[in-house]
Amino acid sequence: MKGVVYIIEVILIDVDDTLFDYQKAEKHAIFSSLRYFNVEGNFIDIQKKYNEINKKLWADLENRKIEKEVLKYKRFEYLSIECNLDYNPIEFSDYYLTKLGEGTFLIDGSEEVCEYLNQKYKLVIVTNGVKEVQISRINNSKIRNYISEIVISDEIGISKPDYKIFEYALNKVNYTGSKDRVIMIGDSLTADIQGGINYGIKTCWVNLFDKENNINIKPTYEVNNLYDLKDILWWYRVKII
């Protein structure tokens, strides 16, 4: 009997800067919010400062130094102080998250690759994002029908790189096979790749922006575009003659 057995059975995959263009979504959300609250100033400079603040706070979240509910508004409180902006940080945050949820901008190849992966593997999204934002973006995107399950840290109270979020994801799809048949794919070395390493599964770093890996976190694989995922996974199959 001829056929093919795929050794990889479950693919855990990140969302932002892996499948979705987070930069476009963020720019849409921050510019829309600044206009809505009649903020004056150079929007590009404000966005750059926001990116600095936001990046630091998300790193603090990964290191369990801040709670996500606090992070949501604290970044805009810091931004208002740094840039001398006049708005209510909580109200600004609520509006920003609504607009961010509209950001269904896909990275080139996302739809095609997800369709391909869905035909051969269980495809599970594992994200550290905010629940209402990620659900809105994923459900309104062209890739939703290719996703088996969605695991959001905000919903279960566990964030990458904690290995328990990967354990939770596999339980959610009733996977009882070997961890050797699971791979984590994502853009963050400290969250996705380190998390996969912590759980003892294969990892693939999606390095779309040619970032230098200058930390001691070594992914199993690295790709610079989503199409290369097909080539990597192609090797993990056995032909039956």
- Residues marked active site are found at 14
Residues 6+ apart with CB under 8 A from 12: 124, 125, 126, 166, 169, 182, 183, 184, 185, 196, 201
CA distance 149 to 225: 23
